[in-house]
Structure 1
Amino acid sequence: MPTLRRPRITLPTTTAPAAPPTRLPLPALLALATAVFVTSLTETLPAGLLPAMSADLGVSESAAGQTVTVYAVGTALTAIPLTAATAGWRRKKLLLAAMSGFAAANTVTAVSENYTLTMAARFVAGVAAGLAWALLAGYARRMAPAHLQGKAIAIAMAGIPVALSLGVPAGTFLGKVLSWQVAFLVMTGLTVGLLAWIAALVPDQPGQKPGGAKTPMPHALRVPGVTPVLFVTLVFVLAHTVLYTYIATFLDELGMGGSTDLVLLVFGAASLVSIWIVGALIHRRLRALTLASVLLVGVGAAVLAAFSGSPALVYVAVTLWGLGWGGAPTLLQTAAGDAADKGDAADAAQAMLVTLWNVAMAGGGVFGGILLDLAGTSSFPWTILLLLIPVLLAVAAARRNGFPARTPGNPA
């Protein structure tokens, strides 16, 4: 006689939500900082190599400067549509895909002897940057507890001043001692190592759920504070890029061409100090830090405009410029995130910020090239001063939203 078995009853189980983080995941954040370093250095590396690149590619220095422009164009054209198209992707998968694009593009740039092929590779690198930049700040924020999100973004964005302080001078030195192609091959090797680091130590994050609500760009622009932050981003980055793209040519005209790597090292060291200060104070002093950032860059430009004949004062000006600029990416990313969070428009605002940032980078390369051909390098500092006037006014006017005196969670 068969034995009867009591049917097994399976009770529904629920998975407890993951506990929110209580401290900063430094290994993962440093991997993101290295990704920021790779994207920033890939974009700006030609700034210290323009004379050598123009000679080897058989084009003028203003044409070689467009290798920065076409990178920025690639990012500006693709950041918003690619962000929307990949919204459902796991964040780690997307970051690995973007960094693989950098490895391929830098390899092609290094081996290319043709200007058109080089420009195509730079465009592809810009497309990869559009993917990376649209997710890096949000990735860092989601890894950290709420009260440490600003510091998490500061750590991730530290890759920018490190690229400026160490990467560009080192690339310039390699270009001088060996060749500019070696500098780009080193970037490929660094990126391959970074891919392994990300795979091993960066926690994954989900993308947007299928059918999830997507904030349209026009709605994000109506959220109080978003538009002023985007305007400041556009014009401030434009002002910076006009000179930075052609810094080697600018110094050549001053008789300091042999010191380009040292000047960039001073600029980057000041930028590192800046981002350390910003990381420590950003949650309490976002508005004051942003005003100080604009003013320091303006004073540095004024010194370059009036006293560029003195090498010592050029170093003073570059130090002020670095102190003002180093923390700017963190300030602008945080301001955009804080403003957009009020209207649930963070993803849309970050995609627009990345796009406008690179529109400004592209515009700076083109505008700087035009100024170089028509008015010479002496016009660069005066142009920066003119552009910074509306930037300062916009930050000052956005007292309640955008660049508030009081930031979320900090009453004073």
Structure 2
Amino acid sequence: MPLALLALAVGAFGIGTTEFVMMGLLPDVAADLGVSIPAAGHLVSAYALGVVVGAPLLAAATARMPRRTVLIGLMALFVAGNALSALAPDEHWLLAARFLSGLPHGAFFGVGAVVATGLVAPERKARSVSLMFLGLTVANIAGVPVATLLGQEFGWRVTFLGVSAIGLAAIGSLAALLPHDHATAPGTGLRGELGALRSLPVWLALGTTVAGFAALFSAYSYITPMLTGSAGYTDSSVTLLLALFGVGATIGNLAGGRLADHSMRGTLFGGLTSLVVVLALFPVFMSAQWSAALAVILLGVAAFVTGSPLQLMVMEKAASGPSLASSANQAAFNLANAGGAWIGGLALSLGLGTTSPAVVGAGLAVLGLGVAAVAYAVDVRRATEARSAQEAGGRLVASHVPGRESEPQPEPVRG
């Protein structure tokens, strides 16, 4: 695989670290700024809002620019947002800085996925996307725990300065390893990118992302009360168990990329089906500590198997403008994060039990399977119509070859 993929993975590692580290630092940030923990929780929402807003906006605004330049610029914005987070004097400035930090997130992954697939042979496209996403999953294993411990020991501001340093390393890697490219050709810039979003298959692929990953976040958002309330783990053990989720996500991501290069649709259906089974069995898994730890790993595997095929599917359905659609898929991922957490919390508030968010998540995964099935049916119908039109056109051309109608036919040979 090209070394340029390593540069994309370094950027993804920094983004994954800053996205998830705030969860572990909320008590420290709240105490330092003199606000409640629920109020500090808005910092998580501010970042997610930045992703949703920035993904399509920045991808559209940079549609005609060289993608290497775009990726370096997005990472520079990422560095600025995290540096400002470290220097924020109060919660209002920190909210704005977190929003700014989230802006480049979706566009970086969206444009980066397009660049990654262009660096490899067609039969290795999904694998290239999974290697870029490897930085995101490894961040959950190493980046987030280390950054959390760093913040708890030396102050949360040091954490964000450290993340800024990762961003600077990513900029250096991108500048050194990414090949130079040219601005988008006339006719395939912003108009082509926007035109691709008018495609029904693109929206069905985005819908599959929302439903499938909402299933994940319905359960994962409340994994701590499940592990402590049902499985009997102590609070101090949760950090290690969340690292196990990162291990599972890394395994699923790499496996999904390799499998999707052989069968993108089969990998997607298999991953979503596995997610349904794992989430439906969560009440059983949470009855013992060993099985609860296994469930955390399996959840990461089942969810992230679908990551590369979904990203690649959106890009292929938006072939005339893949950057904007690919970035929109990252916005869909964050909408799934917010929506899944809300639905899972609703199940808890209704008194359905500690593991009820996972069972609800299984239902969302079934919905994702349904949307994916509709997308497949639409593809089959369109392919059939295109084949029929091509055959009809061939017969029409054959019947109108000049002179064919008046050409004398040879007489049969007589015995």
TM-score by length of 2: 0.80
Partner secondary structure for residue 110 of structure 2: helix
1:269 aligned partner: 247
1:327 aligned partner: 305
Q: Deviations over 1:119-160 (max 9, x none)?
A: 211100111214312311111112222232222212112122
Of 274, 288, 300, which aligns to 1:310?
Answer: 288
RMSD value over aligned CA atoms? 3.0
CA distance in structure 1 between the partners assigned to 2:27 and 2:273 by the alignment: 31
1:189 aligned partner: 165
Per-residue deviation at 1:73?
Answer: 1.2
CA contact (8 A) 1:36 1:157 kept: yes
Partner secondary structure for residue 203 of structure 1: coil
1:71 aligned partner: 47
Label 1:121 to 1:368 Cα distance change in 2 as closer, same or farther (>3 A).
farther
2:213 aligned partner: 237
2:406 aligned partner: none
Of 104, 114, 129, which aligns to 1:138?
Answer: 114
Tell me if 1:381 matches 2:358: yes
Of 323, 332, 341, which aligns to 1:347?
Answer: 323
Q: How does 1:94-243 map to 2 (within 5 A)?
A: 94-112=70-88, 114-209=90-185, 212=188, 214-215=191-192, 217=194, 220-223=197-200, 225-243=201-219
CA distance in structure 2 between the partners assigned to 1:352 and 1:387 by the alignment: 20
Q: Deviations over 1:87-126 (max 9, x none)?
A: 1222222111111121122223234362222221110011
CA distance in structure 2 between the partners assigned to 1:272 and 1:230 by the alignment: 22
Partner secondary structure for residue 398 of structure 1: helix
Q: How does 1:399-410 map to 2 (within 5 A)?
A: 399-400=376-377
Q: Deviations over 1:53-111 (max 9, x none)?
A: 44444444444333232212112123223222211222222111111121122223234
Label 1:381 to 1:191 Cα distance change in 2 as closer, same or farther (>3 A).
same
CA distance in structure 2 between the partners assigned to 1:172 and 1:179 by the alignment: 10
Q: Percent identity?
A: 29
CA distance in structure 1 between the partners assigned to 2:156 and 2:169 by the alignment: 21
Aligned letter for 1:46?
A: M
Label 1:222 to 1:87 Cα distance change in 2 as closer, same or farther (>3 A).
closer
CA contact (8 A) 2:63 2:323 kept: no
CA contact (8 A) 1:239 1:387 kept: yes
CA contact (8 A) 1:68 1:362 kept: no
Partner secondary structure for residue 182 of structure 2: coil
Q: Structure 1 segments of 4 or more deviating over 6 A?
A: 369-374
Moved more, 162-171 or 240-249: 240-249
CA distance in structure 1 between the partners assigned to 2:380 and 2:361 by the alignment: 22
Per-residue deviation at 1:219?
Answer: 5.1
Per-residue deviation at 1:377?
Answer: 5.7
CA contact (8 A) 2:125 2:261 kept: no
1:32 aligned partner: 8
Label 1:195 to 1:176 Cα distance change in 2 as closer, same or farther (>3 A).
same
Structure 1 or 2: larger helix share?
2
Moved more, 316-325 or 354-363: 354-363
Say how many residue pairs are matched. Answer: 378
CA contact (8 A) 1:57 1:114 kept: yes
Tell me if 1:360 matches 2:336: yes
Per-residue deviation at 1:175?
Answer: 4.2
CA contact (8 A) 1:173 1:261 kept: no
CA contact (8 A) 1:249 1:257 kept: no
CA distance in structure 2 between the partners assigned to 1:165 and 1:218 by the alignment: 39
Aligned letter for 1:390?
A: L
TM-score by length of 1: 0.81
Per-residue deviation at 1:265?
Answer: 1.5
